[in-house]
Each structure stands twice: as C-alpha cells, then as structure tokens.
Structure 1
Amino acid sequence: MELKSIQPAKSLTDFVESIWMLRNDSPEEKAIIVLPDGRFDIIFSAAAGEDFHATLRGLDTHPEQGVIPGNMTMFAVSFKLLAVEYLLDIKMASVLNEGQRLTDGFWNIGPADLADFESFCAKISETMSGLIKPDIDNRKKELFDLIYTSQGTLTVQELSDRVAWSRRQINRYFNEQFGISLKAYCNIFRFKASLQQIKEGRLFPELNYTDQNHFIKEVKRFSGVVPKELAKNQNGRFILLSELSQQ
C-alpha cells in the first residue's frame, strides 16, 4: 500500500488536520484496524468494479476492523472539530462511529481527481478556503487550541476556567455537535498523542495518565490490544501508526 499525508495551507490550519491519500495497488484486500484519532474525515474513493463515491466519517470512539479493497484509491481530508460548525455547518453527532454517503459531485470532486494527489490537494484546498465562515467564536477556537496543544491532558475544569465557559455549556455543545462529552474527546486525543511514543517503543505513560495500569487500560480500550502489541503493528494493520511515519 502507498500512504501519503500533507499538512494544510496556513489559512486552513484551524480547520484541517491533514490531507491524505491511501492506495492499495494489489488486487488483494488489506485487513486494517481503524483507531480513534479525534478527527472526522471526508473520503473520496474508487476501487476496481465499484463506483466512485464520497463518504463523511464521524468521530470514532473504539477500534473497528475493516478492509481496504484491492485496487482502491482513497483521497481524503481529516478535519479538526472547529470545521464542523465553521466550514461544513453540520452536526456530527448523528454519524458517531458511522459513515454517511455524500451527494454525487460533492465539492465538485469526481473520479478524474483521483489521478493526481497534488492537483487534488490544490483543488480541494481552494474549495475549503471559500467555505470558511467569518466571526468565529473565540471561546471555541481557544478551547480547541488548548485541547490540541495540551494533547488532551487538561481536565474539563481546567479548560473551562481558561476559556471562561462553563463545564455544563461546553458539554452541551460537545454532545449536540459531536455526540460525545468533552472528557471523552480529550481521552481519545490523549490516546492519539500517545501513539508516537508507542511507535518508538516507549511503553510507559507520558501524558498525565495516573499510572502504568491506567495507561495500559486506556490504550487497550481504544486499540483493543496492550501497548506492547500495538507497538509491533504486525502486518501494518493499525493504519494510524503507519500514517505517523508520513507526517
């Protein structure tokens, strides 16, 4: 398989985490495990014998087994949470752990756009830049910035105090927009942040986990395996670990 990931243009960094491609040139399907990563995706894909289509993928809260069909190409955008309200204007709660087919011609992307990744990136970046809404709520921007820069290690109370937004209001916003609480999201993001150290063989807590048992429990909760097995990534089945080497 070929995997490539690039960072977005500066004007999109508050909304887009990365633009990426995944291509399976083998006629054989590839078994993978999708890990929660704190982002949602719009994926454009086509495989031999299948129609081109676009899919919206919501946040994941648990590991999920899947397959990449043979001779499949996927070009995708992974979004930060601020994009839900200020770029797409949708609520993601209804697609938690789910995917949803998008209308044909979504964002004017078609099968021909899967021929060249650089051209795709340029085209979709221009489209997204034109969709950004003005007058972003500074509390929300600051809240997400704190979550990302702290790698999910700050408590809900600490986040609430820093952005002067009550815990109750924040959790109502998270549940209505994303389908999970702020604490649940921070736990997912902290797990994702731990993947780099696990990939490098550092199998101990580094991000404010209570102790080693808590670290192991959380890793197993979100990956289905203990840190030692996750680090091995046999047959490259944990696709998110493979992606880390591309960034």
Structure 2
Amino acid sequence: MKSPEIQYKIIRPDSELSAFVESFWMLKNVSDKAHEIVVLPDGRFDIIFSYSGNEEHDIVLRGLDTMPAQNSIPPRTVMFAVSFKLLAIEYLLDIKAASVLNEGALLPADFWDISKNDLDDFEAFCKKVSAKMITQIKPDIDGRKQKLFELIYASNGALPVKELSEKVYWSSRQINRYFKEQFGISLKAYCNILRFKASLQHIKEGKLYPEEDFADQNHFIKEIKKFSGVVPKELFKNQNDRFILLSTLPVK
C-alpha cells in the first residue's frame, strides 16, 4: 500500500482450514486521522476483531457485500480478521449469512475467547483462532457442496450455473435455493462478484480491458462500475488508497 499510515498484513490458513478460511488479515491505521475507504465486494464474509486507541475491542460478523460501501478507518485503529469461504457458514460457524447481507452484526465480546490483549500479536492471534476453528468443524460435509465451491473458486466464478450443476449432480434450482437461504443471493450473483474480484488484479496492473469472462468491453466496464462505483480507469488510479481491497493486492 502507498499510504504509510495504513499497515496491512495477510496470512494464509493451514491446510486443515483451507476449505473454510480464505485468509487472516491485519489492518492498522497508525495515524491520528481517519482514513476514508471504499469497501469493495470480494465474495468473502469476515469476523473482524478491532479497537481504536484506548477503547475496548469489538467483534463484528460482516456479511457478503454486493455493492461498494463508503467507510473510514478511525485513527489509531487495529483490526485483526478472519475472511471466510462460503462453506464455513454451514460447517464451521453454523449461521445463515443471508441475515447480514451488506451488513454487519455485533458478536459477544468473549467470542472465541479473544480479548483485547490477543490483538497485540497477529501471528499468535492466527494460531489461537485456528486452533479454535479446527475444533468447530462439523463432520459429514455434503460432497456436492464441497465440490461446488471448489469449482467456483478455481474458475473465479466463470463457470455457468448449468455446467456447475451438471458437474456436481445437483439441480440448478436446488443450488439457487441453497444460496438464497444461506447467503441471500443467487449462485450467478455470487459468481459475478468473484469475477469482479479476479479482475482487480488485472486493473491494478493497468489492464483496463476484459481478462476474465466478460462479453465485451462495455459489459466489463458496466460490471466494474456496478461493484466499485467507478469505471476501470478511475479504479486503477486509486487516489489516496481509498479502494482498500485493490491497494492490498500484491504487485506482480
């Protein structure tokens, strides 16, 4: 990231959690000023542990985002978070994320036995919550769901619903009912978000034309604007590092 006042770090999960956890991340605003950001849809939901200054910590479950959202990181803020893949909703946390679509919900202050002191050491935090999550994984995961998510993530949402249905031997109607009930959106809508997220890496590299499965340039621009609020050229400029997801992508 360009802004020295914003510090960011990411850690990938161990193999035992890789089907459920996309990453652990840390974000700090070390300055005395709020940092204005735009939160972009990324196909994940998060549990965020945070505090600002001398305040007590908060724990928030953040649902899937389907649109860009203006926000700000308060001064002297520390955030440690777990970003989840969708399979975790049912088989690790046992919640329905549909109720927090584009929203957040406050969790108990003692959730997973994490205290404010645990937010001093990011690596130790990751180990502690990893150990906790491993004990929470439910047995007997539906093989259709596991295969479905493997295909969705591997293709960055590019495979049509019909093809996904045929590959996992699960009807499109049943898949969409499952998505609506659990996550609040259709499978196609979710795949569109993943395709947008995959495009961010190309945009960061200055490739302002379709690299993923878009019909044409106009379709590409329309989808990028739908999920970011701006056209690809404006997203690429990323003035003041306000598009936080784009800022944290690695430079290739």
The question of a shared fold, defined as TM-score above 0.5 by the shorter chain, is answered with: yes
1:175 aligns with 2:185: no
CA RMSD of aligned residues (A): 1.1
**What is the number of equivalent residue pairs in this alignment?**
247
1:216 aligns with 2:225: no
Q: Who is 1:205 aligned against?
A: 210
Q: Who is 1:39 aligned against?
A: 44
More moved, 46-55 vs 167-176: 46-55
Identity %: 65
In the alignment, residue 59 of structure 1 is paired with which amino acid? L
Q: Who is 1:241 aligned against?
A: 246
Cα deviations by residue, 1:42-93 (Å, 9 ceiling, x for unpaired): 0000002532110000000000000000000000000000000000000000
TM-score w.r.t. length of structure 1? 0.98
How far apart, in 2, do the equivalents of 1:48 and 1:175 lie? 39
Decide which of 150, 156, 163 is 1:145's aligned counterpart: 150
Q: CA deviation at 1:246?
A: 8.4
Q: CA deviation at 1:207?
A: 1.2
User: Is contact 1:15–1:82 with CA below 8 Å preserved after alignment?
Assistant: yes
1:186 aligns with 2:191: yes
How far apart, in 2, do the equivalents of 1:231 and 1:85 lie? 36
Q: Who is 1:160 aligned against?
A: 165
1:72 aligns with 2:59: no
In the alignment, residue 161 of structure 1 is paired with which amino acid? E
Q: CA deviation at 1:232?
A: 1.0
In the alignment, residue 176 of structure 1 is paired with which amino acid? E
TM-score w.r.t. length of structure 2? 0.96
How far apart, in 2, do the equivalents of 1:27 and 1:124 lie? 30
In the alignment, residue 5 of structure 1 is paired with which amino acid? I
Q: CA deviation at 1:245?
A: 2.1
**Structure 2: any 5+ residue segments left out of the alignment?**
1-5
How far apart, in 2, do the equivalents of 1:189 and 1:99 lie? 20
Q: CA deviation at 1:150?
A: 0.5
| 1:77-96 superposed matches below 5 A | 77-96=82-101
In the alignment, residue 74 of structure 1 is paired with which amino acid? M
Cα deviations by residue, 1:12-66 (Å, 9 ceiling, x for unpaired): 0000000000000111000000000000000000002532110000000000000
**Structure 1: any 5+ residue segments left out of the alignment?**
none
How far apart, in 2, do the equivalents of 1:182 and 1:246 lie? 30
User: Is contact 1:5–1:243 with CA below 8 Å preserved after alignment?
Assistant: no
Q: CA deviation at 1:244?
A: 1.1
Q: Displaced runs of 4+ in structure 1, greater than 6 A? A: none
